Structure 1
Amino acid sequence: MTNPFLSSEEYDERAHALYNEARYDEALELLREGLTRYPQAVELHVGAGYARLAREEYAWARRSFEEALMHDPEHEDALAGLGEVLLKFGQVEAGLRAYDRTIELGYEDDVDLMLQIGRALFREGFVEHSLTFFERAVRNAEDSAEAVACIGYAQHRLGNDVEAMVALRRALVLDPKFAEARVYIANLLYDAGDLDAALLEFEQTTPEDHWDELGIWRLIELKKSVYKLKDSDGELKPWEARLVELAGEPDPIDELLAEVEQAAVEADTEDGHPSQDQLEALGSLLTGLVGQQQAGESPGEQGSGQANEPGAATTDVLMADNGTHRVIMRDGSAFEGSWEEIVQALRDARDAGRPLDEYMAMEARRFYGATGMRVASHAPEAFLRGSADAGMLRIVR
């Protein structure tokens, strides 16, 4: 529906509001309409660039930013957006030049812009460059807890944990309610082995303060360990509910692939090896699934570089021998038998009576909290192999 009486500024304001609500499709549709009426409106081209960027449509985003710069070569937001797109295309020198141009134009005192550029550099792995922009932000806003914390994040990524902790502590002094910095500190303490201090920091957060599952798993395990809480304890319920929120709805393709892996384990013939027909059928199913997934992607999604790789994991399962295996735990204890028998023995040693699937899911969560690595829990073999990859046990045979 057209809006015949809107000015270009009104189009920009309405699209910006939609963008802030993560309604990128609607924002882009509105910006397109605005550009048909005001094709030289720089702000509308810039807005379209950022909407495209959010949709991972990088080629189209680049076009929008370049169009904006044709009309205004010194537009700081267009330069920042173009710099991010160029980094994603691997044109690092050109991207850095676009960012440096904002400094040459005198925008160093624009704290929000410096943080935006710093975060983009950080996300793309140019941490040292990101640190210089974060430091510029702090020089112009010494009381900004957000800017100071960004220096802490960059220092940690560079391996400077002492400097990182100093910056993050300073951020909390500036804003004691800055939960993001506190969660980060708690995870640093956990990684350093100072579990009591980590729990103290975690306990000053709420479930809503967490936007990553790792900190919540660590908090749950620390509470259970220190306070001897049972899995069903009501104190853990809000944290478990937050985990469900963060996990979101399961992806149908991932669920189907998990079923295929489970079928592969169960499809062995009596002599302990899957038949050729079974292998071919499972391989065809996997190929079809991947094809269906790729066919359903938009051009922006194909360019995101996040395609699944189900083949490698499934090959391991298909080639597994269903005979006797032996695993050695970190404490030196050893278990032998089939994959299922080993998991049953582990379950009995730790939590006898719990259903096997619940035990694997619980242990997978504990391993994730301890290592940050996800461990499959839908089948005994996948669970044990994932646990070995996470360093929680060793498979001898």
Structure 2
Amino acid sequence: MTNPFLSSEEYDERAHALYNEGQYDEALQLLREGLALYPQAVELHVGVGYARLAREEYMWARRSFDDALTLDPEHEDALAGLGEVLLKFGQHDAGLQAFERTIELGYEDDVDLMLQIGRALFREGFVEQSLQYFDRAVHQAEDSAEAVACIGYAQHRLGNDVEAMVALRRSLVLDEQFAEGRVYLANLLYDAGDVDGALAEFEKTSPEDHWDELGIWRLMELKKTVYKLADDDGELKPWEARLVELAGEPDAIDELLAEVEQSMLEEEQAEGQPSQGQLETLGTLLTGLVGQQQAGELGEQGSTSTDVLMADNGVHRVVMRDGSTFEGSWEEIVQALRDARDAGRPLDEYMAIEARRFYGATGLRVASHAPEAFLRGGADAGMLRIVR
């Protein structure tokens, strides 16, 4: 029900608070309510655009940003939102022009806006262009650890790890409590072979500072090696608890597969016969059941009947940002990705490393505990596309 006692600014503020909490549906409902009373309120149209963008409703988001710019052609947040939507649609030149328009209008000193545009470019693979906006943000706020760290993430994405480490170290000088930058730096040091430096940085973090499993596994490994800790040492317990928390609760399919595997192993032990072939067959059938549950989504995306049938049979297709295509089960696709880019690395470690890279590129958390969750999270982050 609408509340006539709220001003358009109050609707905007309340919706913004909901948006920041990730309650996009509630924010959108409140914004609609406000627009029913204040249809000319530019900020409410902009808010709807960003709520739609967060829900990946890009066409509707574009319409809202267009409505806002019709009312105010020089609204910087609407221009930034429109630019991001245009990039999603592949209209790169128009998107870049929308971003550049904010500079022409004199918003170069808006640090948050520059970071927002930089991250949008970063997520869509325009890393060099994103650096320009990150540099602008740092120029305006040299003491912003977040802005400096963004330069580090971009340099890493471009393969410039020395420059990346310099930027990340600088961000930590500015803010010793900047956990995101410290975890990222520790992982870069580990990748570079500086295990002492990596351990020193990891030990300055707490379990709650970590949002993917990779850093925790590495920290535990280093502690065991350097301090000769046993696997059940109490010092490792908080980190193990965080791993469990990040992995989340298994879903119904995971539990069913675990039960099937256990029963197969028990049968194998009882009969003294290998049951791997049976287990693989049943696993394929269960994967097919998952595919059937997803067929409706595939149909909505315009999949052909052949695509749906293949998905039902557990065969999926993933297209990477460079155009390379991979087919197979979720695990087979991740294995192929691993073999193409980092052959020999354990699959769980590869997913954790890529999840960290995705986070550095997009600011979005990607699960790394299972191949399907990893690929779907990568698609949500815009780093790949699931065709079926």
Query: What's the TM-score bracket when you normalise by the shorter of the two chains?
Result: 0.7 to 0.9
Match of 1:135 in 2: 135
Provide the C-alpha distance between the structure 1 equivalents of 2:74 and 2:312, rounded to a whole number of angstroms.
Answer: 40
Match of 1:78 in 2: 78
Displacement, 1:247? 2.4
User: Cα deviation per residue 1:93-152 (whole Å; 9 max; x = unaligned)?
Assistant: 111111111111110000010001101111111110100000011111111111111111
Provide the C-alpha distance between the structure 1 equivalents of 2:180 and 2:52, rounded to a whole number of angstroms.
Answer: 27
Match of 1:184 in 2: 184
Match of 1:87 in 2: 87
Provide the C-alpha distance between the structure 2 equivalents of 1:263 and 1:290, rounded to a whole number of angstroms.
Answer: 24
TM-score, with structure 2 as normaliser = 0.73
Match of 2:220 in 1: 220
Provide the C-alpha distance between the structure 2 equivalents of 1:148 and 1:376, rounded to a whole number of angstroms.
Answer: 32
Cα 1:159–1:113 change in 2 (3 A) is same
Match of 2:244 in 1: 244
Provide the C-alpha distance between the structure 2 equivalents of 1:309 and 1:87, rounded to a whole number of angstroms.
Answer: 34
User: Cα deviation per residue 1:38-77 (whole Å; 9 max; x = unaligned)?
Assistant: 1121111111111111112222111111111111111100
Match of 1:346 in 2: none
- What stretches of structure 1 of length at least 5 have no aligned partner? 317-329, 331-362, 378-397
Which of the pair has more CA radius of gyration? 1
Amino acid at match of 1:91: Q
Provide the C-alpha distance between the structure 2 equivalents of 1:227 and 1:240, rounded to a whole number of angstroms.
Answer: 17
Indicate the larger mover: 176-185 or 71-80: 176-185
Displacement, 1:231? 2.1
Match of 2:292 in 1: 291
Displacement, 1:189? 0.6
Q: Secondary structure at the match of 1:250?
A: coil
Indicate the larger mover: 283-292 or 125-134: 283-292
Displacement, 1:294? 4.1
Displacement, 1:371? 8.9
Provide the C-alpha distance between the structure 1 equivalents of 2:103 and 2:44, rounded to a whole number of angstroms.
Answer: 23
Displacement, 1:31? 0.7
- Residue 265 of structure 2 contacts residue 275 of structure 2 at CA under 8 Å; is this kept in 1? no
Residue among 313, 317, 331 paired with 2:329 = 313
TM-score, with structure 1 as normaliser = 0.71
Q: Secondary structure at the match of 2:125?
A: coil
Structure 2 counterparts to residues 129-278 of structure 1, below 5 A = 129-253=129-253
- Residue 264 of structure 1 contacts residue 282 of structure 1 at CA under 8 Å; is this kept in 2? no
- What stretches of structure 2 of length at least 5 have no aligned partner? 304-310, 316-327, 333-343, 357-367, 372-388
In percent, how many aligned pairs have the same letter? 72
Amino acid at match of 2:180: E
Match of 1:16 in 2: 16
Amino acid at match of 1:291: Q
User: Cα deviation per residue 1:173-203 (whole Å; 9 max; x = unaligned)?
Assistant: 1112211111111111100011011001100
Displacement, 1:245? 2.5
Amino acid at match of 2:65: F
Provide the C-alpha distance between the structure 2 equivalents of 1:223 and 1:68, rounded to a whole number of angstroms.
Answer: 54
Cα 1:192–1:284 change in 2 (3 A) is closer
Displacement, 1:153? 1.0
Displacement, 1:90? 1.4
- Residue 261 of structure 1 contacts residue 314 of structure 1 at CA under 8 Å; is this kept in 2? no
